[in-house]
A and B are shown apart, each in its own frame.
Chain A
Amino acid sequence: MKAFITRRKSLLVAASAVLALSLSACGGSSTTTPPVASASFEAGTTMEKLNKAQKITIGTKFDQPLFGQKGLDGKPVGFDVEMGKAIAAKLGIAADKIEWVETVSQNRESFIEQGRVDLVIATYTINDARKEKVAFAGPYYEAGQALLVNKDDTSITKPEDVKGKKVCSVTGSTPAKTIAEKYGAEVVPAATYTACLEPLRNKQVVAVTTDNVILAGYVDKEPDAFKLASDETFTKEPYGIGLKKDDTVFRNWINDQLEAFQKDGEYKKAWEATAGKVIKTTPELPAVNRY
């Protein structure tokens, strides 16, 4: 019992630390906010328009730990958010001039098409179906689908092991579809990934599935309860930055910036400030796809 209490105490301390961090992150000049460039752009480009307006609207997820998650103060934090801030800075827009909009899996394309957001940076997997409606800069990170299981479960090490068993995922998400159609699992739908943790804990489902980086966040929070079934992922999920389909100039420009971030260490810094707290190896920027 005593041990439990201390663990929980430490958890609270950790939570406070994260909170303090998130608070400082929004308090003006923080370590992760890159200096705002005084940029000038060719007339007629999206970059020029945004720079002139001194305002950019970015869609991100508010419920993905490490990538885009809303903090107690209402500001989103995570790697996606850092990427957004870095790009905004290159546009000459300060971090506090960014308007963050929550995009969920189902409305990302329509938000871009209707111009409700300028960019979507929201653990947004690049695929051909989506490329028909929007354009992608990047990828800026390559994730992959994995399985989260109970710590004491040794029966599941690969996706084939969940055939015919119950696996929890978010209703209508791509991971849910993959695990059902490719591996024959019975999908148990939930409103959020965190809601999935309770049935897993109670052993009402055998696993929770989504991208490995998100699951890593849960393992980090509760290392005594959960683990990843395997370090291998069984899909490739290249995360891209979504924007209007015909805006090739803007796309190429963002790709240039991503490569610059990799060179000047901005990418590493953004990673280490967010997802890098859990996933210790800093990834290299994947080769951007200039289609």
Chain B
Amino acid sequence: MTSVLYDVPGPKARLYSLIGSAAGILIILGVLAIAVVTLAQQGIFDADRWEIFYGPLAPDVWSLIGQGILSTLAAAAVAAVIAFPLGIALCLLRISLISWIRIPTQVVLEFLRGMPVVLMMLFVLLVFATGQFQAVVVGLVLYNAAIFAEILRAGIQSLPKGQREAGLAIGLRSFQSRMSIEFPQAVRRMLPSLIAQLVVLLKDTSLGYIVGYEELLRKIQIMADFLGPDFLFPAFFVGAAIYILINLSVSRIAIMIERRGSKKAAGGVAPASIRTGLSAGGNDPVAKDSVEGPGTK
């Protein structure tokens, strides 16, 4: 697609492009070099700063980091497991035919989607006086259930009307048609958006840092507090690297599932608009939540 935007570059254009690329790489390398030198002057690369990761303290340090990773994953897993069914339930209420169910649900969903997740966490922590873990999980569940509900609603509404009509015609009740005909198709259609939202959920666990939940970032801070500020940077860099690695691998898995799903869908039910939605990363209005999702905290 992109090649449609410009002619196949000739030798001259290729040369310019090469020069431009080289210059760009040089500039980036230069900036990086300045950063490295500045940090080195402050002794950040001195071996003794990093000794905590392999010296006598290493077992404690790594076990602390391990605990941090586990807390991060635990909060994300628990929240995801609760949020998904709750999202289905909210979606059912949201598309209910009875207006006094549908409209209040819509208001609640708008409310949940319009709130910063960290504010909800703080709310649970202070108003219900729960522990930090519960606060983080409930905050994540409320927000993500609302997003899941919206994604599923979009999925159901993108189904051809005939699906539901056929269901009703063969004598299924409205709820049966929703559960056995519409939801399975909606979930499969919206799988990429749903998984993208899971990545967001995982990332949002880091907000636990602000409300005092001991996830990875907080553990890093505790470690640095305890060992002294000299170790803040090594600890931070290692922590950030771990976070990015975890998120990148989950994203990779998501993309793999997405590819497999789209292949299946290509042979099956999904119309073209959904497929462009996939490859475009959620530009399709139906899948818009996947775009809102990743940016959302």
Direct A–B contact in the complex, CB atoms closer than 8 angstroms: yes
Q: Does A222 contact B (CB under 8 A)?
A: yes
Interface pair A221/B229, CB less than 8 Å apart: yes
The answer to whether residues A110 and B129 also contact, given A102-B212, A194-B221 and a CB cut-off of 8 A, is yes
Which A residues touch B232, using CB under 8 A?
194, 198
The answer to whether residues A72 and B223 also contact, given A5-B43, A19-B60, A114-B129 and a CB cut-off of 8 A, is yes
Interface pair A8/B226, CB less than 8 Å apart: no
Which B residues touch A113, using CB under 8 A?
129
Interface pair A74/B126, CB less than 8 Å apart: no
Residue in B46, B52, B226, B230 whose CB lies within 8 Å of A69 = B226
Interface pair B43/A194, CB less than 8 Å apart: no
Interface pair A72/B61, CB less than 8 Å apart: yes
Which A residues touch B57, using CB under 8 A?
15-16, 19, 72
The answer to whether residues A63 and B225 also contact, given A8-B49, A9-B48, A15-B57 and a CB cut-off of 8 A, is yes
Q: Does B222 contact A (CB under 8 A)?
A: yes
Which B residues touch A39, using CB under 8 A?
none
Give residues 216-241 of A contacting B (CB, 8 Å): 221-222
Q: How far is the CB of B57 from chain A (nearest CB, A)?
A: 6
Which B residues touch A180, using CB under 8 A?
none
Interface pair B56/A11, CB less than 8 Å apart: no
Give residues 199-254 of B contacting A (CB, 8 Å): 209-210, 212, 221-232
Interface pair A8/B129, CB less than 8 Å apart: no
Q: Does A291 contact B (CB under 8 A)?
A: no
Q: Does A116 contact B (CB under 8 A)?
A: yes
Which A residues touch B225, using CB under 8 A?
63, 65, 69, 192, 194
Give 1 or 0 for each of B16-54: 1 = CB within 8 Å of chain A CB. 000000000000000000000000000100101101100
The answer to whether residues A72 and B129 also contact, given A5-B46, A8-B48, A194-B221 and a CB cut-off of 8 A, is no
Q: How far is the CB of A25 from chain B (nearest CB, A)?
A: 13
Q: Does A111 contact B (CB under 8 A)?
A: yes
Which B residues touch A1, using CB under 8 A?
43
Q: How far is the CB of B182 from chain A (nearest CB, A)?
A: 43
Which A residues touch B231, using CB under 8 A?
15
How many of chain B's residues have a CB under 8 angstroms from any CB in A? 33
Q: Does A191 contact B (CB under 8 A)?
A: yes
Which B residues touch A63, using CB under 8 A?
222, 225
Interface pair B132/A102, CB less than 8 Å apart: yes
Q: How far is the CB of B14 from chain A (nearest CB, A)?
A: 46
Q: Does B64 contact A (CB under 8 A)?
A: yes
Which B residues touch A110, using CB under 8 A?
126, 129
Which B residues touch A16, using CB under 8 A?
56-57
Interface pair A70/B132, CB less than 8 Å apart: no
Q: How long is the Cα–Cα vector from A192 to B56 in the complex, in angstroms?
A: 27
Q: How long is the Cα–Cα vector from A111 to B67 in the complex, in angstroms?
A: 25
Q: Does A71 contact B (CB under 8 A)?
A: yes
Q: How far is the CB of B246 from chain A (nearest CB, A)?
A: 22
Interface pair B226/A11, CB less than 8 Å apart: no
Q: How far is the CB of A66 from chain B (nearest CB, A)?
A: 12
Q: Does A197 contact B (CB under 8 A)?
A: yes
Q: How far is the CB of A289 from chain B (nearest CB, A)?
A: 26
Q: Does A278 contact B (CB under 8 A)?
A: no
Which B residues touch A4, using CB under 8 A?
43
Give residues 104-156 of A contacting B (CB, 8 Å): 104, 106-107, 110-111, 113-114, 116
Q: How long is the Cα–Cα vector from A106 to B209 in the complex, in angstroms?
A: 15
Q: How far is the CB of B219 from chain A (nearest CB, A)?
A: 9
Interface pair A72/B60, CB less than 8 Å apart: yes
Q: Does B125 contact A (CB under 8 A)?
A: yes
Which B residues touch A191, using CB under 8 A?
209-210
Q: How long is the Cα–Cα vector from A117 to B48 in the complex, in angstroms?
A: 41
Nearest opposing residue in chain A for B224, CB measure:
A194
Which A residues touch B55, using CB under 8 A?
12
Q: How long is the Cα–Cα vector from A14 to B231 in the complex, in angstroms?
A: 13
Q: How long is the Cα–Cα vector from A63 to B60 in the complex, in angstroms?
A: 18
Q: Does A62 contact B (CB under 8 A)?
A: yes
Q: How far is the CB of A68 from chain B (nearest CB, A)?
A: 12
Which B residues touch A194, using CB under 8 A?
221, 224-225, 229, 232
Q: Does A73 contact B (CB under 8 A)?
A: yes
Interface pair B48/A12, CB less than 8 Å apart: yes
Nearest opposing residue in chain A for B61, CB measure:
A72
7 pairs, A vs B, C-beta closer than 8 Å: A65-B225, A74-B64, A102-B132, A102-B212, A104-B212, A106-B125, A110-B126
The interface of chain A, by Cβ under 8 A from chain B, is 1, 4-5, 8-9, 11-12, 14-16, 18-19, 62-63, 65, 69-74, 101-102, 104, 106-107, 110-111, 113-114, 116, 191-192, 194-195, 197-198, 221-222
Give 16 A-B pairs besides A15-B57, A65-B225, A116-B129 with Cβ atoms closer than 8 angstroms: A5-B46, A12-B48, A12-B52, A15-B231, A16-B57, A19-B57, A19-B60, A70-B222, A72-B226, A74-B67, A106-B125, A107-B126, A110-B129, A192-B225, A194-B221, A195-B221
Closest 9 CB pairs of A and B: A110-B129, A72-B60, A15-B227, A194-B225, A221-B228, A114-B129, A8-B48, A70-B222, A104-B212
